[in-house]
Amino acid sequence: MQNSGFFRSAQRWFFRTPDRALNQAYEAAQMIVAIEREYFGGNPISARYGSYGDSAMEYFQSELKKYLNLIKVRMVEFRTSRSIVRVSDPRILEVQVPVTEADELAVNVIDQQALFFRKLRLIDEVQARYASLEASPERVITLANGASGGLEPAPSAQVLRSRANQARSDQPGSGQPNGALRGPNPGGLAANTNASDPDGTRAAGLSERVNVLPRSILRTVDRIRQDLDPNAEQEVVKEFRSSKSKTTAAIRFLLLLVIVPLLTQQFTKAFLVGPVVDRVRAGAEPADVFLNIEMEEEALHELQQFEERLRFEVLIGKAPPLSELSIEQRVRTKATEIEDEYRDRSASAVKNVFADIAAVVAFVLLLLYRKQDVATLKSFMDEIVYGLSDSAKAFIIILFTDIFVGFHSPHGWEILLEGLSRHLGFPANRDFIFLFIATFPVILDTIFKYWIFRYLNRISPSAVATYKNMNE
């Protein structure tokens, strides 16, 4: 009896070898897909698609290599044993309600054979993706939403979980044996739904049978199922805490990007560069009062205005009569005040040059050494921008384009460049300013239009249509 029980256990273990090997390979492929969606925005696990440090990328690459090796070993085991043992029982059915948008709920009726083909399809896609990535590392990655060459904005934690749940019931191959109906797949892997049913007759037949029930009933059933889920509350709290921590980290880093360069600029100007510049300019040979001819002309114009105003007030009786000597003394006193003012202004301009360089260095160092925070901030900004309505997106695009490349933008650019020249102590070269205004806004306008045509038109076509209607 003991030997017969042992042989029966061994027989069961042997006959389950194909299913066991396939399931383990499928789980490894799912782990790779989960890492891609959670940390690389749905792109392959590569340094080009994630701003992580060397240690983190080494960890991700080791995990990828581990799962790929596991897939290879288990698939060899599967192919060796499947010619002898039957893989699955096709009589077993499974009913799934994928998590999709509210108006796109659908029911999948999938037999065991369909699950078998689905697992093989996912495993083959994962292996082919990394085999082609190693063969041509500079190729363009095509995202699930059809956009090539652009990165999809990082979704929130709730969206990631919704897409992961949909991907489990929406993996490629689920519609091959029985033509199961599937809704749109916005976040999963790209699937060819017509691979085994090009004429769509099977899917149409199942759609006619499934759509007998109104979609509102399916939505109600799905809502009740979610409400009765004992882990629903914990999932909501977990998602809220994760979103809260990411939002807090993004806002904190954004404040650092603003405050740290400003504090660096002020500290460098007051305590590091300032004393050195003052000592050099007040040396044995005092430096010139004016850094450029424009500052000297401004000072002369100011002194002339003072003298003319003083004589005018004496003539109209607003000031007591003054002799020429008194007027000359007052003008000389004013000239001394103007000299001290422009001396300090020249010294301040020299300090601003070095202090601004230090501020830019601090800003760049923040971006280089806080790559994880940069990725978090980018994800936060993407959620805000891409979460806006189509009219809001069109409004923001029109606002920015009119400010920077619109009809009245040259006046703003002129004031901005003149203020920057005055801040750094350089003369405002009118020829350079006019040349800049004639070229840079045109280039910026071309970049805006290319971004709208290349990326926004694929991510949100309705926003582009709204933008065109509002702009007309």
pLDDT in tens, 180-207: 333 334 333 333 333 334 444 444 343 4
Q: Which residues contact 442 (CB under 8 A, 6 or more apart)?
A: 405
Which is nearest to 154 in space by CA: 370, 382, 331?
A: 382
Which is nearest to 348 in space by CA: 303, 60, 340?
A: 340
Q: Which amino acid is at 153?
A: P
Backbone angles phi, psi at 109, to 5 degrees: -110, 105
Residue 251: per-residue pLDDT: 93
Q: In angstroms, rounded to a whole number, what is the distance separating the alpha carbons of residues 178 and 113?
A: 9
Please tell me the least confidently modeled range out of 115-129, 173-187, 251-265.
173-187
At residue 164 the predicted structure's pLDDT band, cuts being 50, 70 and 90, is: very low
User: Is the separation of the CB atoms in 388 and 456 below 8 Å?
Assistant: no
For the segment 360-370, the average pLDDT, to the nearest whole number, is 94
Q: In angstroms, rounded to a whole number, what is the distance separating the alpha carbons of residues 287 and 292?
A: 12
At residue 55 the predicted structure's pLDDT band, cuts being 50, 70 and 90, is: confident
Query: pTM of this prediction?
Result: 0.51
Task: Check pLDDT > 60 for residue 161.
Answer: no
Per DSSP, 95 falls in state E
Higher pLDDT, 24 or 264: 264
Residue 6: per-residue pLDDT: 64
Work out the angle at residue 163's Cα, subtended by the Cα atoms of residues 450 and 224, and round it to the nearest 5 degrees: 135
For the segment 55-79, the average pLDDT, to the nearest whole number, is 84
- Looking up tokens 């809220």 gives 240
Token couple for 374: 């940069």
Q: What percent of the chain has pLDDT over 90?
A: 15
Tens of pLDDT, residue by residue over 82-110, are 766 655 444 444 445 555 444 554 545 45
Q: Which amino acid is at 371?
A: K
